[in-house]
């Protein structure tokens, strides 16, 4: 039976579910529910066909439509698909550009120089930081889309975002949240097999935040392939099952492959030929190359030029590159369209051609030898250069020229154009794109022995450090250092050492210190005060992280004076920010808060949004008050305000690392206010972000915060798991200050589990603690001494934390002092301490101290002032119940209420001691046995082995003893057993 085939399937097959869902998204967008949707599928699965169908339906629903395409070389240029969408739109016909772009015309003019001339340019004297420029562009796009959508529903279609630049992908993360209430649908297509980590990160973020509707386009079934064959083949009857099965097997249900396979069918061929002809190519690449092999020599040259030019290209570029008369080129292009290699894309005022599919271009490129490619890139580059106006080459065109001349090995032109594109990318803080251009510039500079190679090494290293590529960044800096020394360039040598010190500060502080000291020495010999001040801050920060706080602060203060003399406002702000961190890590939380506030205000004035957000977040970090504990002059609510402002700024500029830090700060403020459910939500989200971006330090701080939260909820098992996990990460990173703090918390958890064998090195005697970690260590040692019935030693430890002006003490430490005084029988002093702890916690938190202080007063006065004891017990009980209402779930509430510290508070007063068993304290014989073992300092595991029972049974008996005796700790059980003559204290082993 003779058959013939059409070129493209005229109907959409087996995509009804996707089209129905996309129709629903259009309806929702028209109603003011902005969404982002992605069609994700392998090449040839029909993504573009679905996009055309959606575009048709959106047009019928009176949507405005913007369409932007990504090309492989677009990965090097910021905002490429968005710029393409705007260009295509403004070329559809005459329009008032100023009215279309609206208030954003000046900002977007930076990206659209041909429109910038039509709009009023911004004052060239106005400058801004790279972060601010990028933020302004994000806001400009969001505001433009929101304004367009306010007048008419808007569909923005972005094809092939697997080739999108990282900055565009960052913007796609921001738009769904920024325009959630707009009449907008952003629809993109992507291939999941493209090695683009930025795309994978973007999609993972949008999946996690549930801000994306994702469509995975599956291959056609055998029935679907049959439907395509019936639509494509002009036959008198449906295709036979044998034909359908054969085509489905060869194409794996890929619609493009089906069309390409049928394109090989000779005129008047039969089904038997299509099913059985052994000469039919087995894959699409063979099909395309066989088709190209039948072209004339001129046509082969043109299609190869086109393949090198890109997936899409202008007719004028090909005309200039080919040097053919227009009529001859048009004839060849007609042939290439007829042969199904190219398609024409018409826009008002221009003609653009494209390969029918990305696979078509890829197949043609694979058959070119390297010298052929190099020559063709040279031809295309020169053609593009001739088409560009001298002195008016845009950054986008400069990037394309740098790409082609680099591939051609034309080093002088590569250096000129790639450097221009790299500068533009840095101005917009498009780090990955800047790195691509700078690497091309560096290759050219090295080939030409150009002195700019050293600075380009440094720029590449800065970009690599920002994306977390430590080894590659180090290699560039070391290469730049070698170049500088070989050429005797002291200024460049100092810069390389300075950057190497900053890089090693994340991995190896001793090495960072050596490098920072060398950088400072060179800066001081060079008589450059600004460079010297920067070097002082670098070394000061390294020394701070080595816990040499006084030395670090002194260097920061020297730098501050230098910047003041120079009138350098940014350096002034930077110094205050670093001074704040030095004070914070030294445990001076109140002074640190003041310094961070100064820095934040100055960064806000300077328009440095990222540093403003960081300083605000640091000012809002309540962690030191929970962790040290350190004193604070402000309540948790004040910290919350700063953390919330920091988080808002981080999300505005799509700064993921800053967002993780701000979420940690919010979680800490939540813990301080007893909002435990919110704390867990913010802490878990911070941890998820830190893990997603691979930020070790933020993973540690998030886990530390979540561990402290668990400890506050009396879940020491959960807390221990968090602390040990954080310690593993900190150990790999060599983060000494985190290890010191985590070790103390791990000891705290193990002590509360009844393990007396854990040890912790105490800071030097009679020396005030000089870090948060040392304060936490002293707390852990004091609690150990108290548990071992050595309250005098515990009191000595706590007093070391309370040096300073009255009223500036941490509530938790004052509470612990009260417990030590009570154990010593100094009731009046203990009561004063408990009242002081309550006052401090009411003023500055944390809230958990309130119920603990009331419970301690109830125990203190139980046998001497029953009414007062019952009043305090009622206060503690009310506070406990209020806290349980704010816990994350029922499991945590139940565990908290059943904890030994809390359970006695909930029992009726008359039942706190069992009287129906004639034994001291109402303990049964088994309970007395367990209590005696506790008095000997044995752990639950050791008691279980000694008595031949399960550990859970021991835990139950210990809890029962606490409840019957009205105690809150094992140490109190031990002291009571000794006082009642039921046990002797454990003998010293020394």
The stretch 924-935 carries a mean pLDDT of: 84
Work out the pLDDT band at 265, boundaries 50, 70, 90.
low
Give the least confident one: 59-63, 503-507, 859-863.
503-507
Q: Could you tell me what percent of the chain has a pLDDT over 90? A: 42
Give the least confident one: 181-185, 826-830, 831-835, 964-968.
964-968
The span from the CA of 865 to the CA of 872, in Å, is: 11
Higher pLDDT, 324 or 754: 324
Angle of helix 16-30 versus helix 47-60 axis, rounded to 10:
40
Angle of helix 197-208 versus helix 676-693 axis, rounded to 10:
170
The answer to whether residue 374 scores a pLDDT higher than 60 is yes
Q: Are 200 and 191 in contact (CB under 8 A)?
A: no
pLDDT of residue 764: 62
The answer to whether residue 264 scores a pLDDT higher than 60 is yes
CB atoms within 10 A of CB 474: 18
Assign 3-class secondary structure to 421-446: HHHHHHHCCCHHHHHHHHHHHHHHHH
The answer to whether residue 185 scores a pLDDT higher than 90 is yes
pLDDT of residue 138: 79
pLDDT of residue 281: 46
CB atoms within 10 A of CB 799: 14
From the number of C-beta atoms within 10 Å of its C-beta (0-12, 13-18, 19+), residue 177 rates as middle
The span from the CA of 113 to the CA of 222, in Å, is: 51
Per CATH, the architecture of 920-979 is what? Answer: Orthogonal Bundle (1.10)
The span from the CA of 678 to the CA of 165, in Å, is: 36
Query: 827 forms bridges with which residues in the sheet?
Result: none
The span from the CA of 58 to the CA of 36, in Å, is: 15
Higher pLDDT, 765 or 422: 422
pLDDT of residue 623: 94
What are the pLDDT digits (tens) for 232-249?
Answer: 776 667 777 877 887 787
- In three-state secondary structure terms, 533 is helix
pLDDT of residue 283: 61
In the numeric block, which tokens belong to residue 481?
């250092």
Superfamily name and number for 32-216: P-loop containing nucleotide triphosphate hydrolases (3.40.50.300)
Q: Quick one: CA dihedral 279, 285, 287, 290, positive or negative?
A: negative
Work out the pLDDT band at 842, boundaries 50, 70, 90.
very high
Q: What is the CA radius of gyration of the chain?
A: 35
pLDDT of residue 322: 93
Higher pLDDT, 532 or 767: 532
The answer to whether residue 3 scores a pLDDT higher than 60 is no
Give the least confident one: 185-189, 431-435, 842-846.
431-435
Omega before 629 within 30 of 0, i.e. cis: yes
Work out the pLDDT band at 850, boundaries 50, 70, 90.
very high
The span from the CA of 516 to the CA of 220, in Å, is: 61
Most confident of 227-231, 394-398, 562-566: 562-566
In the numeric block, which tokens belong to residue 476?
């560039």
Q: Are 484 and 493 in contact (CB under 8 A)?
A: yes
Work out the pLDDT band at 645, boundaries 50, 70, 90.
very high
Give the least confident one: 98-112, 478-492, 498-512.
98-112
pLDDT of residue 272: 55
The span from the CA of 171 to the CA of 198, in Å, is: 12
pLDDT of residue 220: 87
Give the global pTM: 0.62
Report the CATH number of the 716-906 domain: 1.25.40.10
What is the pLDDT of the chain when averaged over all its residues? 84
Q: Are 105 and 120 in contact (CB under 8 A)?
A: yes
Domain ranges across the chain: 2-9+222-279, 32-216, 287-368, 370-448, 716-906, 920-979
The span from the CA of 94 to the CA of 102, in Å, is: 16
pLDDT of residue 911: 40
pLDDT of residue 918: 41
Report the CATH number of the 287-368 domain: 1.10.10.10
The span from the CA of 784 to the CA of 802, in Å, is: 18
Higher pLDDT, 623 or 107: 623
In the numeric block, which tokens belong to residue 443?
């290759």
The span from the CA of 892 to the CA of 718, in Å, is: 11
CA neighbor of 115 nearest in space, from 147, 140, 151: 140
What are the pLDDT digits (tens) for 216-231?
Answer: 888 888 888 888 888 7
The span from the CA of 43 to the CA of 256, in Å, is: 8
What are the CA-CA distances from residue 365 to residues 145, 384, 404 (Å)?
37, 20, 15
Give the least confident one: 32-41, 378-387, 442-451, 754-763.
754-763
pLDDT of residue 655: 73
Work out the pLDDT band at 681, boundaries 50, 70, 90.
very high
The domains spanning 287-368 and 920-979 adopt the same CATH topology: yes
Residue tagged 């005084």 (tokens):
821
Helices (H) and strands (E) in the chain, counts: 50, 10
Q: Are 43 and 194 in contact (CB under 8 A)?
A: no
φ, ψ at 351 (rounded to 5°): -120, 125
What are the pLDDT digits (tens) for 600-630?
Answer: 999 999 988 888 999 999 999 999 999 989 9
Q: Are 170 and 202 in contact (CB under 8 A)?
A: yes
- In three-state secondary structure terms, 605 is helix
């Amino acid at each position: 039976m003779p058959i013939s085939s059409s070129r493209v399937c005229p109907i959409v097959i087996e995509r009804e579910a996707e089209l129905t869902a996309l129709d629903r998204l259009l309806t929702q967008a028209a109603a003011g529910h902005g969404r982002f949707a992605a069609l994700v599928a392998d090449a040839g699965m029909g993504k573009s066909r679905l996009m055309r169908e959606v575009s048709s339906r959106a047009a019928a629903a009176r949507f405005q439509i913007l369409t932007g395409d990504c090309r492989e070389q677009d990965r090097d240029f910021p905002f490429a698909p968005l710029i393409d969408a705007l260009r295509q739109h403004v070329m559809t016909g005459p329009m008032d550009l100023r009215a279309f772009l609206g208030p954003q015309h000046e900002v977007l003019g930076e990206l659209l120089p041909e429109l910038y001339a039509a709009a009023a340019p911004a004052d060239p004297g106005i400058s801004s930081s790279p972060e601010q420029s990028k933020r302004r562009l994000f806001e400009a796009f969001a505001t433009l889309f929101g304004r367009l959508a306010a007048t008419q529903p808007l569909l923005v279609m972005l094809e092939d975002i697997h080739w999108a630049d990282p900055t565009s992908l960052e913007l796609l993360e921001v738009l769904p949240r920024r325009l959630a209430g707009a009449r907008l649908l952003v629809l993109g297509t992507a291939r999941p097999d493209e090695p683009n980590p930025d795309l994978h990160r973007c999609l993972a973020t949008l999946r996690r935040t549930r801000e994306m509707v994702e469509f995975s386009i599956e291959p056609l079934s055998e029935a679907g392939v049959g439907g395509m064959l019936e639509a494509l083949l002009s036959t008198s009857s449906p295709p036979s099952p044998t034909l359908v099965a054969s085509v489905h097997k060869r194409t794996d249900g890929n619609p493009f492959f089906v069309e390409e396979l049928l394109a090989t069918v000779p005129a008047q061929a039969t089904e038997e030929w299509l099913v059985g002809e052994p000469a039919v190519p087995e894959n699409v690449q063979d099909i395309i190359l066989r088709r190209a092999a039948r072209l004339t020599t001129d046509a082969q040259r043109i299609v190869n030029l086109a393949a090198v030019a890109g997936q899409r290209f202008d007719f004028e570029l090909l005309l200039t590159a080919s040097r053919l008369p227009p009529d001859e080129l048009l004839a060849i292009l007609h042939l290439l369209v007829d042969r199904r290699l190219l398609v024409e894309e018409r826009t008002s005022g221009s003609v653009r051609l494209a390969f029918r599919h990305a696979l078509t271009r890829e197949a043609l490129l694979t058959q070119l030898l390297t010298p052929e490619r190099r020559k063709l890139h040279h031809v295309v580059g020169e053609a593009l250069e001739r088409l560009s106006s001298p002195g008016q080459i845009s950054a986008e065109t400069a990037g394309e020229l740098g790409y082609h001349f680099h591939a051609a090995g034309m080093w002088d032109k590569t250096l000129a154009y790639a450097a221009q594109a790299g500068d533009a990318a840095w101005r917009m803080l498009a780090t990955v794109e800047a790195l691509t251009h700078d690497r091309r510039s560096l290759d050219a500079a090295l080939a030409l022995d150009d002195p700019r190679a050293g600075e380009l090494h440094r720029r590449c290293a800065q970009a690599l450090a920002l994306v977390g590529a430590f080894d590659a960044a180090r290699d560039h800096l070391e290469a730049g250092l070698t170049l500088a020394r070989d050429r005797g360039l002291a200024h460049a040598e100092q810069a390389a050492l300075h950057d190497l010190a900053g890089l090693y500060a994340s991995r190896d502080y001793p090495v960072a210190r050596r490098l920072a000291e060398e950088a400072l020495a060179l800066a001081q010999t060079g008589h450059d005060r600004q460079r010297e001040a920067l070097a002082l801050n670098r070394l000061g920060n390294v020394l701070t992280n080595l816990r040499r706080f006084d030395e670090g602060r002194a260097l920061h203060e020297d730098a501050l004076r230098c910047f003041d003399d120079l009138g350098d406002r940014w350096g002034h702000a930077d110094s205050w920010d670093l001074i704040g961190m030095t004070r914070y890590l030294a445990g001076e939380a109140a002074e640190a808060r003041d310094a961070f506030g100064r820095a934040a205000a100055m960064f806000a004035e300077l328009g440095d949004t990222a540093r403003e957000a960081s300083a605000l977040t640091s000012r809002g970090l309540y962690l030191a008050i929970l962790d040290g504990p350190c004193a604070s002059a402000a309540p948790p609510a004040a910290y919350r305000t700063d953390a919330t402002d920091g988080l808002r700024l981080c999300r505005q500029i799509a700064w993921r690392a800053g967002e993780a830090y701000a979420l940690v700060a919010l979680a800490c403020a939540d813990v301080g206010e007893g909002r435990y459910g919110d704390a867990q939500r913010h802490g878990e989200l911070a941890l998820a972000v830190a893990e997603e971006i691979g930020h070790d330090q933020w993973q540690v701080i998030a886990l530390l915060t979540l561990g402290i939260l668990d400890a506050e909820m009396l879940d020491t098992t959960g807390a221990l798991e968090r602390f040990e996990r954080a310690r593993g990460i900190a150990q790999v990173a060599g983060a000494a200050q985190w290890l010191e703090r985590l070790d103390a918390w791990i000891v705290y958890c193990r002590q509360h589990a009844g393990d007396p064998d854990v040890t912790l090195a105490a800071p030097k005697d009679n020396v005030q603690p000089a870090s948060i970690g040392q304060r936490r260590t002293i707390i852990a040692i004091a609690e150990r001494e108290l548990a071992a019935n050595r309250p005098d030693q515990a009191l000595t430890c706590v007093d070391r934390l309370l040096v300073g002006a009255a009223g500036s003490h941490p509530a938790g430490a004052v509470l612990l002092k009260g417990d030590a005084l009570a154990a010593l029988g100094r009731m009046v002093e203990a009561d004063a301490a408990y009242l002081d702890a309550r006052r401090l916690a009411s003023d500055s938190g944390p809230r958990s101290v309130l119920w603990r202080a009331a419970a301690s007063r109830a125990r203190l006065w139980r046998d001497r002032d029953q009414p007062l004891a019952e009043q305090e017990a009622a206060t503690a009980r009310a506070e406990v119940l209020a806290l349980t209402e704010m816990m994350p779930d029922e499991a945590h509430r139940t565990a908290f209420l059943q904890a030994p510290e809390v359970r006695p508070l909930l029992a009726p007063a008359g039942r706190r001691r069992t009287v129906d068993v004639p034994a001291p304290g109402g303990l049964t014989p088994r309970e007395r046995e367990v209590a005696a073992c506790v008095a000997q300092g044995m752990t639950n595991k050791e008691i279980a082995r000694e008595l031949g029972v399960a550990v859970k049974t021991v835990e139950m008996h210990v809890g029962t003893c606490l409840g019957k005796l009205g105690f809150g700790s094992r140490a109190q059980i031990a002291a009571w057993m000794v006082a009642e003559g039921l046990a002797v204290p454990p003998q010293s082993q020394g």
